[in-house]
């Protein structure tokens, strides 16, 4: 689980992208920076159990004349040997994680802890962080830097790049993408903006268990093809905090091609409302504080029992991503309706166009966001029998995952 209410930020980027520059700037702004590479060296320093295990696994030839680890010799042993690399990771990674946990636990309660991890995406640990920053530069730029600054040949530089995650994989993990193709001053200025506009308010919201409020000024925007990736990052954190429970993308941003407010709606499935209440603390620590006062959806005419529409509502503490988390009981009317309406609109172009027209008409009426939400309800009541008929004719059942 995420540790307490300390904001944990994962910082990563491909070799030569400029991640170290970003880490230094964040430290200057007040972040507690935990450098995974430095810790990886510390846990195999002379006299440590880690170094003894490395020597036992790979032989004394990986030691230098002074008894320290010869990282170049060890690297040549494991770089092209996946089994050897896994043996080395099995020695180093648990020790680095343990030392990281000690440093995070020692951080002040209002700290912003930045974990500088070169292979964060490759390790599969992205969901352990409240936010992930990725530093990116073009392949040719990175190779030129490695040749100029680290004395590598071009072939060596390209081999290092090929051994890491792709730019596409890192972008999918990035809540914030810092492209480092201009001047250092430009990069530092963008880091400063991220610090002031996102990290500092996120830390405060997280510590106070306060969600970011949706602005009342209504804005409907065209479908954003990055919405699914944004959902996926949130969903991974929610599932981790909720012990692996089912998470679904619902609402308008889950329907390809549909214009929507820029708010990601997510449904977390629980077995009982009591389960939802027990998860409130863990979700808040993961960056999703509870919204008090919202405890149900409005019942549909054919399912008037309010108990079938009970839910718990959470929002996001991240000022850079508005989201709503609806925690509903598996099989309840509200749970089923969220999945049915999503799948119907995904499958039926006519209902998508009809709903888009309703959105456009209401948005043009000068409504606030709250008024807009209320004004849509009669339309949903009107089309609900058609949704049920579509489910019967299509043989629809709630998807299993």
What tokens were used for 398?
Answer: 């709630």
At 177, phi and psi to the nearest 5?
-110, 120
pTM above 0.85, yes or no: yes
Q: Which residue has the tokens 């993961």?
A: 286
Nearest-angstrom CA–CA distance, 112 and 130: 10
pLDDT at 214: 86
At 272-325, the pLDDT tens digits run 999 999 999 999 999 999 999 999 999 998 899 999 999 999 999 999 999 999
Nearest-angstrom CA–CA distance, 376 and 370: 10
For the chain, the residue count is: 401
Torsion of the alpha carbons at 401, 336, 330 and 347, rounded to the nearest 10 = 0
pLDDT at 160: 85
pLDDT in single tens digits along all 401 residues of the chain: 344 579 999 999 998 899 999 999 999 999 999 999 999 999 999 999 999 999 999 999 999 999 999 988 888 888 778 898 889 989 999 999 999 999 999 999 999 999 999 989 998 999 999 999 999 999 899 899 998 988 888 888 888 888 888 999 999 999 999 999 989 999 999 999 999 999 999 999 999 999 999 899 999 999 999 999 999 999 999 999 999 999 999 999 999 999 999 999 999 999 999 999 999 999 999 999 999 999 999 999 889 999 999 999 999 999 999 999 999 999 999 999 999 999 999 999 999 999 999 999 999 999 999 999 999 999 999 999 999 999 999 999 999 87
> Given CA atoms 388, 391, 397, 401 in this order, what sign does their dihedral have?
negative
Tell me the fold of 7-208.
Rossmann fold (3.40.50)
Q: Are strands 323-329 and 32-35 parallel, antiparallel or unpaired?
A: unpaired
What tokens were used for 336?
Answer: 């089923």
At 396, phi and psi to the nearest 5?
-70, 140
Q: For the chain, what are the domain ranges?
A: 7-208, 227-394
CATH number of 227-394: 3.30.460.10
Q: Which residues contact 256 (CB under 8 A, 6 or more apart)?
A: 223, 346
SS (H, E, C) 100-130: HHHHHHHCCCCCEEEEECCCHHHHCCHHHCC
Q: Which residue has the tokens 């690297």?
A: 75
């Amino acid at each position: 689980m995420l540790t307490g209410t300390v904001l944990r930020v994962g910082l990563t980027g491909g070799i030569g992208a400029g991640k170290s520059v970003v880490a230094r700037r964040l430290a200057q702004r007040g972040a507690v920076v935990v450098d995974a590479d430095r810790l990886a060296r510390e846990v195999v320093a002379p006299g440590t159990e880690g170094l003894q295990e490395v020597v036992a696994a790979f032989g004394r030839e990986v030691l230098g004349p002074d008894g320290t680890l010869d990282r170049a010799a060890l690297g040549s042993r494991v770089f092209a040997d996946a089994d050897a690399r896994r043996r080395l990771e099995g020695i180093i990674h648990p020790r680095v994680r343990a030392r990281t946990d000690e440093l995070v636990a020692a951080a002040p309660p209002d700290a912003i802890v930045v974990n500088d991890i070169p292979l964060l995406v490759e390790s599969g640990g992205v969901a352990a962080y409240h936010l992930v920053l990725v530093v990116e530069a073009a392949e040719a730029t990175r190779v030129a830097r490695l040749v100029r600054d680290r004395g590598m040949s071009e072939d060596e530089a390209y081999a290092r790049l090929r051994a890491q995650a792709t730019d596409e994989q890192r972008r999918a993990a990035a809540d914030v993408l810092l492209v480092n193709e201009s001047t250092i001053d430009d990069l530092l200025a963008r880091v400063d903006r991220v610090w002031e506009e996102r990290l500092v308010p996120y830390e405060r919201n997280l510590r106070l268990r306060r969600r970011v409020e949706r602005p009342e000024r209504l804005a409907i925007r065209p479908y954003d093809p990055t919405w699914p990736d944004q959902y996926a990052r949130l969903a991974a954190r929610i599932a981790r905090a909720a012990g692996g429970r089912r998470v679904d993308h619902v609402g308008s941003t889950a329907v390809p091609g549909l214009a929507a407010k820029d708010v990601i709606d997510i449904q977390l499935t629980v077995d009982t409302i009591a389960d939802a209440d027990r998860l409130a603390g863990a979700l808040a620590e993961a960056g999703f504080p509870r919204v008090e006062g919202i405890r149900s959806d409005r019942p549909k005419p054919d399912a008037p029992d309010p108990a079938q529409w009970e839910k718990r509502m959470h929002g996001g503490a991240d000022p850079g991503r508005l989201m709503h988390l609806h925690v509903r009981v598996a099989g309840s009317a509200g749970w089923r309706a969220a999945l049915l309406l999503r799948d119907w609109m995904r499958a039926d172009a006519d209902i998508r166009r009809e709903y888009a027209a309703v959105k456009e008409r209401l948005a043009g009426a000068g409504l606030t966001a709250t008024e807009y939400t209320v004004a849509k309800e009669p339309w949903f009541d009107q089309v609900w029998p058609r949704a049920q008929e579509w489910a019967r004719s299509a043989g629809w059942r709630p998807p299993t995952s």
